[in-house]
């Protein structure tokens, strides 16, 4: 049976009739009117405005909370930045704290929020009598947003102000630097300003080494910084300062300096300059008499320079230990006469020139070497240029504009050139440690690092000869009062007349003693300088051998056991005979 597709074709006639029916119906009017559109538009506008106000309130609150810190409403950037000066602790080589931060409160005002400026000024003046009440009243009556009233107030002052309940008066918690040892390490540590920023000493060094940049970047705002360790041994530092204080009282001196230096590493183990200051009272540092004489002051070091002249002469090969020089009569140079303080009036061997501190013999050794060699040698020892260490305070040497024959002679025994005591100590260490100049440092340094920084300045044989001469001077010469039982000390005295009104004054001296121990294989160098000492007793001389040398002995006697140097039981006479035999 055949079936066609016509049978399955759909019938769409009903759709066409339906569309025709709908098209023929009349159009109905719209249900939306113009008034309804206007009301809808305003509803949208009001909703957007409401959300805008809400977001503005929230944003303002977030800003308000962002400016709040430590419970205080800091409405100015000045108050907020005040707490950003946290500093790392400074410790000695054994971990003892030398400087640390403590929390303190500072007082501020927001004048625009103060209700009664007269009352506020009167009430605050009762807590702080030092305030100028009239000026404070004028300041509080302004429309200013922020005003510091007093930084670093005491807990009792904070409590009393808080109890006043004055609107517009508040507190900021700040970091304040505290130095537990007071003046003990003052010239090394330095000081900070009211914003806890380093302005002197190692404090400034720390800022210059990156701390200031951290603060500016918004970091290092609280504790947690790694401590900064120094090479200083607080025990040694205390002993040095204590003995200098004793010496100043005993000899009624104007000032005193003491330095202990590790000759193998260049580390400053102790350094004190008196009068010093209390870094907890920074204003004391402004007193000109409290300057750091050890690094800033430059002085004629007197006969301690004979150590360098003798080393130069021996190292040159032009002079030998068994050579002699005529010191029987004064030396005439360019119209000036060079005398010996205690002349022997005869020819002197090199060891005798050293232990009797002969100006004439030393001058003749310098003339033997010549001016160029002298300049070169002193330059190698770092005595002609400013000494740079971590401490920003340093004095530049004073040297002759024209290095004449007379200049060469006077410089040979420590006149006509001024250097800092630390420069003298560093140069002396080079002659004691085998002949290597090592730049001094206030930071820890091991011997390997020191060796990389060192430079040879004299032969090992010259260093050995100088140690023998230094030991002989303590056994038999001007340094006898520096002897310490059980410790083989060597050293050289230096008595320099001070210049007053352009002339040398024979009644004003600056005395020094440059020493090292144990002299066979020195580990530590000690330099003591006493400014304008007087005789301990009437009739006694006020030379270095009478005051600087015994002060050095007192320091060594105290610090040697601390530093692990064991005493040796030796016979002084046998020691002297051995030393003389070694020289001869």
- Residues acting as catalytic residues: 303
Q: 492 — phi, psi (to 5°)?
A: -140, 130
Judged by DSSP in three states, 252 sits in coil
Number of H helices, E strands in the chain: 20, 20
Q: Which helix (H) or strand (E) holds 100?
A: strand 97-109
Distance separating alpha carbons of residues 533 and 346, to the nearest angstrom = 31
Q: What are the structure tokens assigned to 337, written together?
A: 């006469």
For 543, the token pair is 């030379």
Beta strand 90-91 with 228-229: parallel, antiparallel or unpaired?
A: parallel
The answer to whether 412 and 370 have CB atoms below 8 angstroms apart is: no
Residues 6+ apart with CB under 8 A from 144: 110, 111, 112
Q: Which of 457, 427, 431 is nearest to 440 (CA)?
A: 427
Instruction: Name the pairing type of β-strands 524-531 and 503-517.
Output: antiparallel
Cα separation values, 61 from 52, 78, 146, 210, Å:
14, 20, 20, 36
The torsion defined by the Cα of 255, 396, 362 and 328, in degrees rounded to 10, comes to -60
Determine the Cα–Cα distance for residues 116 and 141; give it in Å rounded to an integer: 8
CA distance 537 to 553: 19
- Structural element, H or E, at residue 499: strand 490-500
Take residue 325 and report the two structure tokens written for it.
Answer: 């020089």
Please name which of 308, 304, 261, 235 lies closest in space to residue 522, comparing C-alpha atoms.
Answer: 261
What residues does 355 pair with on adjacent strands? none
Instruction: Measure CA of the first residue to CA of the last residue in the chain; give whole Å.
Output: 151
Q: Where are the alpha helices (DSSP H) in 454-570?
A: 460-476, 548-562
Neighbours of 14 (CB within 10 A): 8
Pseudo-torsion of CA 317, 323, 328, 331, nearest 10°?
0
Q: How far apart are CA 203 and CA 198, in angstroms?
A: 5
User: Which residues are CB-neighbours of 37 under 8 A, at least 6 positions away?
Assistant: none
Distance CA 467, CA 458 (A): 13
d(Cα 57, Cα 59) in Å, to the nearest integer?
5
Whether 316 contacts 369, CB under 8 Å: yes
In sequence order, the β-bridge partners of residue 509 are 497
């Amino acid at each position: 049976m055949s079936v066609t597709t016509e049978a399955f074709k759909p019938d769409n006639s009903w759709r066409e009739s339906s569309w025709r029916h709908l098209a023929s119906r009349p159009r109905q009017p719209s249900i939306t009117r113009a008034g309804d559109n206007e009301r809808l538009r305003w509803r949208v506008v009001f909703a957007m405005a409401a959300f805008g106000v809400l977001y503005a309130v929230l944003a303002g609150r977030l800003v308000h909370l962002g400016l709040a810190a430590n419970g205080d409403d800091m409405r100015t950037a000045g108050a907020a930045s005040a707490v950003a000066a946290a500093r790392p602790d400074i410790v000695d080589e054994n971990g003892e704290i030398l400087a640390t931060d403590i929390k303190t409160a500072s007082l501020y005002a927001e004048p625009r929020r103060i209700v009664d400026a007269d009352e506020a000024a009167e009430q605050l003046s009762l807590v702080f009598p030092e305030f100028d009440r009239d000026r404070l009243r004028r300041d509080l009556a302004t429309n200013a947003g922020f005003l510091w009233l007093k930084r670093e107030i005491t807990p009792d002052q904070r409590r009393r102000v808080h109890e006043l309940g004055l609107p517009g008066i508040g507190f900021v918690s700040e970091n304040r630097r505290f130095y537990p040892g007071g003046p003990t390490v003052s010239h090394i540590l330095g000081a900070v300003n009211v914003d806890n920023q380093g302005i002197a000493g190692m404090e400034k060094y720390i800022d210059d080494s990156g701390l200031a940049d951290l603060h500016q970047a918004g970091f290092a705002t609280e504790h947690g910084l790694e401590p900064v360790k120094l090479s200083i041994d607080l025990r040694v530092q205390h002993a040095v300062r204590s003995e200098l204080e004793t010496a100043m009282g005993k000899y009624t001196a104007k000032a005193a300096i003491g330095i202990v230096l590790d000759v193998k590493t260049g580390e400053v183990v102790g350094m004190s300059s008196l009068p010093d200051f209390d870094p907890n009272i920074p204003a004391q540092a402004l007193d000109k008499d409290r300057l750091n004489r050890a690094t800033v002051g430059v002085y004629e070091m007197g006969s301690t320079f004979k150590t360098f002249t003798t080393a130069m002469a021996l190292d040159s090969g032009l002079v030998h230990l068994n050579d002699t020089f005529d010191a029987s009569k004064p030396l005439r140079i360019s119209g000036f006469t060079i005398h010996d303080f205690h002349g022997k009036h005869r020819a002197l061997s090199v060891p005798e020139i050293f232990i009797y501190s002969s100006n004439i013999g030393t001058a003749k050794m310098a003339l033997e070497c010549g001016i160029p060699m002298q300049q070169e040698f002193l330059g190698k020892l770092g005595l002609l240029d400013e000494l740079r260490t971590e401490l920003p305070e340093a004095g530049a040497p004073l040297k002759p504009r024209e290095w004449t024959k007379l200049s060469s002679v006077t410089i040979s025994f420590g006149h006509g050139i001024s250097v800092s005591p630390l420069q003298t100590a560093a140069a002396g260490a080079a002659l004691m440690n085998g002949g290597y100049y090592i730049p001094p440092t206030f930071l820890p340094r091991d011997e390997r690092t020191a060796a990389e920084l060192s430079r040879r300045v004299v032969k090992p044989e010259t260093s050995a000869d100088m140690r023998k001469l230094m030991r002989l001077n303590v056994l038999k010469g001007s340094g006898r009062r520096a002897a310490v039982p059980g410790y083989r000390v060597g050293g050289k005295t230096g008595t320099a007349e001070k210049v007053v009104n352009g002339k040398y004054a024979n009644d004003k001296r600056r005395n020094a003693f440059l020493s090292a121990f144990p002299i066979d294989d020195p580990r530590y160098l000690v330099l003591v300088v006493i400014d304008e000492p007087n005789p301990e007793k009437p009739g006694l001389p006020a030379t270095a051998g009478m005051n600087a040398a015994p002060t050095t002995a007192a320091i060594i006697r105290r610090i040697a056991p601390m530093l692990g140097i064991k005493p040796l039981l030796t016979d002084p006479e046998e020691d002297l005979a051995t030393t003389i035999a070694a020289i001869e």
